[in-house]
Amino acid sequence: MKTVMASAGFAAGTLTAFGMFATHKMMYIKTRTDEEIAKDETGSHANILSDFQKQTKEPFAIESPHGYHIHGFYIAADPPNQNRFMVFCHGVTLNLFASVKYANLFLKRGFNVILFDERRHGKTGGRTTSYGYYEKDDLAAVVHWIKKRFSDNILLGIHGVSMGAATLLQYAGLVEDGADFYIADCPYSDISEQMLYLLKRNYPFPKWPIFPLTKLFIRVRDGYNLEVVSPMSAVRNISHPVLFIHSKNDNFIPSQMTQDLYEKKPDKKQLFIAEKGGHGCAYRENPEAYEGAIDRFLKDYVPRRPVLTMP
């Protein structure tokens, strides 16, 4: 009997230790510096850090509904206008600096841009990374700040990559469909499915009891259920247009996830699957095709408004 109890205790202790380890890795995933992000940029983006540091920009800090400050920058188009704005959401481990190359695309197209660090990344506070669960509320706070500062009567778009794309889809489908259009580059369709995909690909562990244990520990430690972190559940509620983007050969988040999201979105949608590049590299590896996809989408779904110069 003592042997059985000892074995059960050992098993319980092992599972608890694994649950703590797995959820710690998720919640406190290591983030990268500006310099580390810059090393990943090549070609025309190679000097993006030094160029960004020279760029005229206005810093801001706004209150998150979760009790910390969200830090970012406002960059005006040249010439500045008062009715076209674009917000950018970066991926996990990164910061707003990773969004600069996308922001430059829209600055060229006459949009003012808003870059910000997501929860627990860059200069923004927050205890944990939640893969869109808490981040979608921060995005809502940013949108509210933009409309309060500039006007409710603006044309607003949101672009996101990876976790940033999953965040904007959850924002639009679960919090408020508060922008006029969205561009979702390589999102996961469901964080639980993404975790199972990576578990199967990278680790020789069985789905059970590892996955249920991870869900339990996330709920206890970070206050939410992993099953609700689901762009797939959100996308059916989005009424405004969405451009879905993915690299065909992405081996981190399968492109099929974006295909599935595209199919689930009822209407007002376009899909661009890039031929080259890995995860988050659709623009870097296919710049002309990427810009072409954006221009087609803007032409088809984004109304043209006269440029109104800011006072």
Using H for helix, E for strand and C for coil, what is the string for the chain? CHHHHHHHHHHHHHHHHHHHHHHHHHHCCCCCCHHHHHHCCCHHHCCHHHHHHHCCCEEEEEECCCCCEEEEEEECCCCCECCEEEEEECCCCCCHHHHHHHHHHHHHCCCEEEEECCCCCCCCCCCCCCCCCCHHHHHHHHHHHHHHHCCCCCEEEEEEECHHHHHHHHHHHHHCCCCCEEEEECCCCCHHHHHHHHHHHHCCCCHHHHHHHHHHHHHHHHCCCHHHCCHHHHHCCCCCCEEEEEECCCCCCCHHHHHHHHHHCCCCEEEEEECCCCCCCHHHHCHHHHHHHHHHHHHHHCCCCCCCECC
Lowest model confidence (mean pLDDT) among 54-68, 162-176, 202-216, 269-283: 202-216
Domain locations along the chain: 31-190+229-301
- The span from the CA of 289 to the CA of 287, in Å, is 6
Q: Are 159 and 105 in contact (CB under 8 A)?
A: no
Q: Please report where in the chains the tokens 């009715």 appear, as a residue.
A: 83
The radius of gyration of the chain from alpha carbons, rounded to an integer in Å, stands at 20
Q: In whole numbers, what is the pLDDT of the chain averaged over residues?
A: 90
> What pTM did the predictor assign?
0.92
Q: Please report where in the chains the tokens 């760029």 appear, as a residue.
A: 55
Whether the predicted pLDDT of 264 surpasses 90: yes
Pair of tokens at residue 220: 């206890």
Whether the predicted pLDDT of 8 surpasses 50: no
How are beta strands 69-75 and 112-116 bridged, if at all?
A: antiparallel
Cis peptide before 79 (omega within 30 of 0): yes
Q: Please report where in the chains the tokens 């984004």 appear, as a residue.
A: 302
How much is the pLDDT for 205?
64
Average confidence (pLDDT) over 74-79: 93
Average confidence (pLDDT) over 179-203: 91
Residue among 92, 100, 84, 103 nearest 165 (CA): 92
Architecture label for domain 31-190+229-301 = 3-Layer(aba) Sandwich (3.40)
Give the Cβ contact number of residue 102 at 10 Å: 24
- The span from the CA of 293 to the CA of 285, in Å, is 14
User: Is residue 96 very low, low, confident or very high in pLDDT (cuts 50, 70, 90)?
Assistant: very high
User: Is residue 51 very low, low, confident or very high in pLDDT (cuts 50, 70, 90)?
Assistant: confident
- The span from the CA of 272 to the CA of 248, in Å, is 10
- The span from the CA of 298 to the CA of 89, in Å, is 19
Whether the predicted pLDDT of 161 surpasses 80: yes
Residue among 197, 292, 188, 282 nearest 234 (CA): 188
